[in-house]
Structure 1
Amino acid sequence: MKEFDKARENYESTPIPEELNDRVQAGIRQGREAHRRASRRPLVRTLGTCAACLAVLVGALNISPTFAAAASDVPVLGGLFQVLTVRSYDTVRDGIDYDVSVPEVEADSAVADSAVADRINAEIQERVDAHMEKAQQDWEDYQEAFFATGGTEEQLGDRKMDVIVDYEIKSQTDTTVSFVVDFGEGWVAANQQRFCYNLDLENDRDITLEDLLGENWVEICNDAVKAGMAAQIEADGFDYFFPAEQGGFTTVDETTSFYINENGDPVLVFPEYSIAAGVAGILEFPVEQ
């Protein structure tokens, strides 16, 4: 294990070309600005215009309670379900710049409660709470280290840490929906998490890769990932993927995250640091059928 840790540490410390770092940072800035622009106009999703989405400025930033949502004009899936924003705010508090939009899946009152929707909503809320708690602790830790090393209030100035929660609906049919929820923390340490949800609402279950690709789904996905990695190495001119023997990609399994794009194809999602150096960020590989 020590040899593995040392090998991975050496791999992580491999110098990354300056142009890649500049490109990644520019992408972070562009994404942040794009998100801010989107949050200041009517919320548009691939599901349609959510004209009645609730916007709430949470003074105390306590996002645990469930807020009522105006849902009368929100598009529904097959007339039975809807995905809507249940809380949204954009504010700065105690040095943290919050930009938050939290989704929820709701069943129409005419149908029975959905077990899968309830589970997903509880999971999202738990992750939002954990993200907010971690962000606050990270900011406090940063300030403590800053002042402990001789920094002053004046030098700290108006520095802020960005905290983002956002979601995007990737595809939909009358009875299914695929969406992702992103959690971001920036400036102190730029990092992002992406969680994918693929719901068969008619049958009240999660959609699996086997549902989409058949019994050979593992082989099909593995081939797509390897081809995607090779294409990215060729495009960038260098390799930031971990070798398989040092913790890199070996195979997909039932826990591999994915969403379904508008073509109906799964897109495999790998977290930061899972199969490549952190500068690569979140990696996505489409599996064309």
Structure 2
Amino acid sequence: MNEFKNAKEEYDNTPIPAELSERVQAGIQEGKARYRARRGRTIRRWASAAACFCAVLAGLNLSPTIAKAAAEVPVLGGLFQVLTFVDYDKTEDGIHYDVTVPQVESESELAEKVNAVIQEKVDAHLAKAQQDWDDYREAFFATGGTEEEWADREMDVIVDYEIKSQSESRVSFVVTFAEGWVSSMEERYYYNLDLSEDRDLTLRDCLGENWVETCNAAIERQIAESVDEEGFTFFFAPEEGGFTTVDETTGFYVREDGTVVVCFPEYSIAAGAAGIPEFPIN
């Protein structure tokens, strides 16, 4: 008990830089602007936002009426469509939800599998964000925070997607999950689909038999080019957990010009300031 009391006193007496609040708020606003700037798609927003909010938290089990409204917003043609299945923007109990969820509409098992995986990830992301917020609130009040101070807190929970390229039978898109408040987290999942053959596309499909060597050479070159004149780079050395090689689990997407872009999770091969590292394979 004394240890907790001492820790609390130390916490309460820690001086807070005057500019800290401004920096935190500036970071939050910058993050919001960055995500919303990427959303340059035509999206129909439907009514009953409160009902949609309940549906999102219940696992995106939308009513047939709302699902039909979403299905009237085709993005792609050919053998399939990628639709905005859920589009929701609301603040509730200090959490700002900015949720846009895609759905692949096609008569294929692949589309069903991808949709199920995406919904599972959305459900998990929303549940984790709520738990993180609840844990933070509990710790905040346990360490002497007041209701007035808590009222100034807000958490951003974001789900978004971006179509990178498309053809009559193929699509490459990215789904982003982000959480921003005291700290920030962003994860991306990459979907490269061939609906005519009902299968996922691989780096081998896009780059040929020597895809490992091709990717490694391009990535190593770009990491070397990132070193400044003083020898600094955000990327870790291989022996410190940095890049060594691509494999079958490496994420990627395909741009409209056909360029393959290999991607790595945040913090995996570089410092957090590097964001999510992306490497065009030229």
Range class of TM-score, shorter chain: 0.7 to 0.9
Q: Matched residue pairs, number? A: 253
Match of 1:89 in 2: 88
Match of 2:143 in 1: 149
Task: Find the aligned partners of 2:98 and 2:157 in 1 and give their Cα distance.
Answer: 6
Task: Find the aligned partners of 1:27 and 1:155 in 2 and give their Cα distance.
Answer: 19
Code of the aligned partner of 1:77: G
Render the CA deviation track for 1:231-282: whole Å, top value 9, x for unaligned: 2233996222222122211100000000001111110110011111223221
Match of 1:33 in 2: 33
SS in 2 for 1:239: coil
Shift of 1:75: 4.1
Render the CA deviation track for 1:37-91: whole Å, top value 9, x for unaligned: 676xxxx54xxx46x576762242334314513334524332x210010111100
Task: Find the aligned partners of 2:249 and 2:136 in 1 and give their Cα distance.
Answer: 33
Q: TM-score, normalised by structure 2?
A: 0.81
Q: Please show how residues 271-286 of structure 1 align to structure 2 within 5 Å.
A: 271-286=265-280
The alignment status of 1:99 with 2:118, answered yes or no, reads: no
CA contact (8 A) 1:54 1:69 kept: no
Task: Find the aligned partners of 2:116 and 2:156 in 1 and give their Cα distance.
Answer: 24
Code of the aligned partner of 2:190: C
How high is the sequence identity, in percent, across the aligned residues? 58
Task: Find the aligned partners of 1:222 and 1:198 in 2 and give their Cα distance.
Answer: 20
Code of the aligned partner of 2:232: F
SS in 1 for 2:204: helix
Code of the aligned partner of 2:86: R
Code of the aligned partner of 1:226: E
Q: Where do 5+ consecutive residues of structure 2 fail to align?
A: 1-22
> Which fold has the larger relative contact order, with Cα–Cα distance below 8 Å and residues 6 or more apart in sequence?
1
CA contact (8 A) 1:184 1:191 kept: yes
Code of the aligned partner of 2:136: Y
CA RMSD between the two structures: 2.7
Match of 1:175 in 2: 169
Shift of 1:221: 0.4
CA contact (8 A) 1:160 1:187 kept: yes
Q: TM-score, normalised by structure 1?
A: 0.79
CA gap of 1:248–1:102, structure 2 versus 1, over 3 A, is same
Higher helix share: 2
CA contact (8 A) 1:54 1:87 kept: no
Code of the aligned partner of 2:60: S
Task: Find the aligned partners of 1:229 and 1:33 in 2 and give their Cα distance.
Answer: 28
Task: Find the aligned partners of 1:161 and 1:236 in 2 and give their Cα distance.
Answer: 38
Moved more, 231-240 or 95-104: 231-240
Task: Find the aligned partners of 1:144 and 1:205 in 2 and give their Cα distance.
Answer: 45
SS in 2 for 1:233: coil
CA contact (8 A) 1:116 1:205 kept: yes
Shift of 1:94: 1.4
Code of the aligned partner of 2:124: A
Shift of 1:141: 1.1
Render the CA deviation track for 1:177-232: whole Å, top value 9, x for unaligned: 00000000002211100000000011111111111111100001011111221222
Q: Please show how residues 101-250 of structure 1 align to structure 2 within 5 Å.
A: 101-107=100-106, 113-234=107-228, 238-250=232-244
Code of the aligned partner of 2:103: E
Match of 1:287 in 2: 281
